[in-house]
Homo-oligomer: A and B are copies of this chain.
């Protein structure tokens, strides 16, 4: 257990935060079986994809409408009980753990796509809609939503963690693609932030404040998002390199030249080996870039041509094109399985994942030193990276039964973060702070900035009911 997590758990008041019987009765009266205290349901909602364990929430509520969310939150505020918004459960940083007890508020039944405004390239959805569900709906209209964190996360959860992923190099992150939100505040009031206009200077940017707030400032109950026309042409290709450095140098040059590449993903040889096994592929087990180009047919050809020339300079082999949509889908599925595939390389293992992001010119140094350190440690690992953004994930595969392995992984992770901060980067490009990176947040932002965050939190949630103990402790 990390120091930050120990602190978070220690900070939980021993009593007074559990759901009191009167509140449970009120929830049951209004929601019936959609308020559950069954252990299996609580346990399912008491974990996420992080390697952290915590006791489950006291109860799980399945909301079906904003009014119900408002009812639950107002009641929780009255009783000073924690509320943890829950979507797909794919957090990697312990966001969903009930470290101070309370209610897990499951929003997956609020999964309606409310409006597609094709002519404005906007869509309005409930928070439980997943990105694959949305894209399946949009495809018929020749549209898509680009943000792709890998997991089929809910859009509410993606907004709450400021998610990004493979397409961010071209389309930005949730930060750039949320137009406005409906939010249930800690007092149970429902407010709107933003509009459907593409830009606005109307007061404080509450939308951007909520995006990335990890459920600590309110519950996102509706989202208006930017969507995009499906490109006229899409091409994907893989290219293999003699070293990780060569692949990264290629990426750096692509970005510096302003080539509008849509996706530019690095997989190290370990990751390629893992996905080969998991997805029955026969990719060469060498550092690989998986790239995608969007645009007009001529534009895509031009981008691909430029990128091939750059890759060749750094010893990259000829592109292997995924010419059919099926071949493309198969490659991206493999990329999305990289995390699970890697876990299967060491049966029974858990994964400590890093998420640093640095200015692109420092990326090669950042990766090279991290690889040197993990190689020296002897821990198995893998690397996947949204390298076009300067962001990569190094996963340390640890045996949960051997505390020394976790300690080694945590120490390596801390070294990586310290380096990323020295290189003017961030400890988390897209996974968020949650429980696991609270110390890193202070290192990165400084005590003064974190104090400012706390002051905002106290102003908007004076009883500290919204996902308490995440991002920072009060």
Contact = CB atoms under 8 A, between A and B. Distances in A.
Interface of A: 117-122, 161-164, 168, 172-173, 175-176, 185, 189-193, 195-206, 208-209, 211-213, 217, 228-229, 231, 252, 255-258, 296, 298-299, 302, 355, 357-362, 389-391, 421, 424-433, 437, 440-441, 444-446, 448-450, 452-453, 455-456, 458-460, 471-472
A204 B212 contact: yes
Nearest to A472: B203
Given A119-B360, A202-B428, A228-B258, 17 more contacts: A119-B361, A120-B359, A162-B200, A162-B205, A168-B199, A193-B445, A193-B449, A195-B424, A195-B444, A198-B391, A199-B357, A199-B429, A199-B430, A200-B426, A202-B440, A209-B456, A459-B459
A203 B212 contact: yes
A428 B119 CA distance: 22
A389 B226 CA distance: 13
A401 to B, nearest CB: 31
Contact of A203 (B175, B206, B257, B450): B450
Contact of A197 (B256, B390, B446): B390
A453 B194 CA distance: 13
A261 to B, nearest CB: 14
Given A199-B164, A302-B296, A206 B452 contact: yes
A201 B212 contact: yes
Contacts of A429: 197, 199-201
Contact of A426 (B163, B172, B195): B195
Contacts of A196: 359, 424-425
Most chain-B CB neighbours within 10 Å: which of A193, A449, A450, A472?
A: A449
A191 to B, nearest CB: 4
30 contacts: A119-B256, A120-B360, A122-B359, A162-B199, A164-B199, A175-B205, A185-B448, A192-B449, A195-B424, A197-B358, A197-B391, A197-B425, A198-B357, A198-B359, A198-B390, A200-B428, A202-B426, A202-B428, A203-B449, A204-B212, A204-B453, A205-B205, A205-B208, A206-B452, A209-B456, A228-B258, A231-B258, A296-B302, A299-B299, A299-B302
A163 B360 CA distance: 27
- Identify which of A118, A120, A231 gathers the most chain B CB atoms within 10 Å of its CB: A120
A191 B448 contact: yes
Q: What is the oligomeric copy number? A: 2
Chain B CB within 10 Å — which of A203, A252, A302, A432 has the most? A203
Contacts of A433: 201-203
B199 A359 contact: no
A140 B175 CA distance: 32
A177 to B, nearest CB: 11
Contacts of A122: 359
Given A175-B205, A211-B205, A430-B201, A456 B453 contact: no
A302 to B, nearest CB: 6
A272 to B, nearest CB: 25
Contacts of A189: 448
A204 B456 contact: yes
The 7 tightest CB contacts between A and B, nearest first, are A208-B208, A200-B426, A459-B459, A229-B258, A120-B359, A191-B448, A119-B361
A77 to B, nearest CB: 15
Contact of A256 (B229, B252, B255, B257): B229
A452 B181 CA distance: 14
A449 B175 CA distance: 19
A360 B229 CA distance: 15
Contacts of A202: 426-428, 433, 437, 440-441, 444-445
Given A175-B205, A359-B196, A425-B196, A256 B452 contact: no
